[in-house]
Structure 1
């Protein structure tokens, strides 16, 4: 199980051919729910594993921050995918996606309350008990804060990480989006997070709409996010970072240029 290192990219069927042609690629991330728990694996992922490219399953449906216990079947699926891909770790979100039996179909932010910390830690512990590899937790981008917040973002994240022993998947674009939409300083958050706990980074594009910055994953990475990535890597450079694109895929030369820009800012080797 080769741990993630260098610059990676989110594996999607629409760009599987492009990803397969990256000579310096050492890791990818795949949406865990898109991989079957049994039966044939996607050919592209099999070929990457044969090249010793690490594949990290990235879950989107566990609802680790939900008030209800995490569903055993969803944890079992994530665990099975991790085993089938010989993954070095898995990742999921500090968020909830369902409540009262209803599925939101979207990652929803938690109130930064002590009750939410307790619920999240309990669900992470339930997942960790079944997973064959470590888990990294990703804070999400949010367009609003709940009125009953008791902790600031750094306190909230650090307490969850300390109590669970989980790794951190830090999305630089989410840090930028939240700071811009809240009118806060993203560097102030970075300076209070346990950066040494980062397993890898996410970087993605976004766009302004209706007075808010939206983390779209369908636009190029803007220069302020690249600048923030550079500031983060100057403080502590994690072992790996990953470009997320989830639609409106640009031509291959543009996607290569985006990967090269991430490598240039962060100091990692290019993969193209």
Structure 2
């Protein structure tokens, strides 16, 4: 299923620890980790946001669409049920390897960017698209290593995947920055290649450096370099939405409101 993405605006990741804060912030849209909710018993805060007209996007972290095995039908059914219960405009997931058989990596690992792997992932994406009632968007991940036999850059791989499946693109500029610092991958060069005309929305998040390694923790303010990448992206294409991720060590309402203001500033400054 494909169609042009609807305008979303500026949003934040909904978490139960900041549910009332999210409501008070008055954001344009929110994203909820799909594995943390039951479609038959949605949290009252999400029901209130939906009743007020705020779009809610289920964001999966466990599908493992980048694996050699076909997507788990039960996980797909859960994503579909979340989309239906939330009246979601789309579902997002990660282009990542998560598990093989009963072995779970416990992390969103990069996929080998080879032609053979691409053929398998194309079929996985098509199967997921058929199972979902709304469009699917895939996110680039923060890689902890690179495969030695990669035949394409991440941007090239994503571009071909989008072209062959029509899947949407969730660009995480914080992940691009992480890969630039830790693996030497040029984030701006990636923006030049990624099919930004297929943007569903964008992620930004904070982290910290330790011993020369950038840790994408989603627990602190967005660094200027990540906001600069957001501005670079916005200079190339107008994203339907930009969402701030914050997953622990939650600050005050004022700090989160200021962060959303910095995001808006980077978008308008482009």
TM tier relative to shorter chain: over 0.9
Per the alignment, residue 194 of structure 2 pairs with 193
Separation in structure 2 between the aligned mates of residue 65 and residue 214 of structure 1, nearest angstrom: 23
Asked if structure 2 preserves the Cα contact closer than 8 Å seen for 1:4 and 1:27, the reply is no
Gaps of 5+ in 1: none
Other-structure match for 1:20: 23
Aligned partners of 2:185 and 2:147: how far apart in 1?
16
State the partner residue of 1:170: 171
State the distance in 2 between where 1:4 and 1:131 align: 20
Instruction: Supply the distance in 1 between the matched residues of 2:23 and 2:59 (Cα, whole angstroms).
Output: 19
Q: For the residues of structure 2 that align with 1:98 and 1:216, how far apart are their CA atoms?
A: 22
Secondary structure in structure 1 of the residue aligned to 2:148: coil
Instruction: Report SS of the residue matched to 2:137.
Output: strand
Whether 1:152 aligns to 2:156 is: no
- Residue 124 of structure 1 is matched in structure 2 by 125
Contact 2:112 2:149 in 1 (8 A): yes
**Structure 2 stretches of 5 or more lacking a match?**
none
**Runs (4+) of structure 1 moved beyond 4 Å?**
none
Alignment of 1:1-272 (within 5 A): 3-23=6-26, 25-38=27-40, 40-267=41-268
Q: Is the 8 A contact 1:205 1:221 kept in 2?
A: yes
SS in 2 for 1:191: helix
Counterpart CA distance in 1 for 2:61 and 2:21 is 24
CA contact (8 A) 1:136 1:199 kept: yes
Residue 105 of structure 1: how far off its partner (Å): 2.1
Q: What do the CA deviations read for 1:148-180 (whole angstroms, capped 9, x no partner)?
A: 111112211111111111000000101111112
CA deviation profile, 1:90-128 (whole Å, cap 9, x unmatched): 000000111132112211111111122112111111111
Per-residue CA shift, 1:116-146, capped at 9, x if unaligned? 2112111111111110000000010102101
* Alignment root-mean-square deviation, CA: 1.4
Cα shift at 1:4: 4.8
Distance 1:137 1:159 in 2: 13
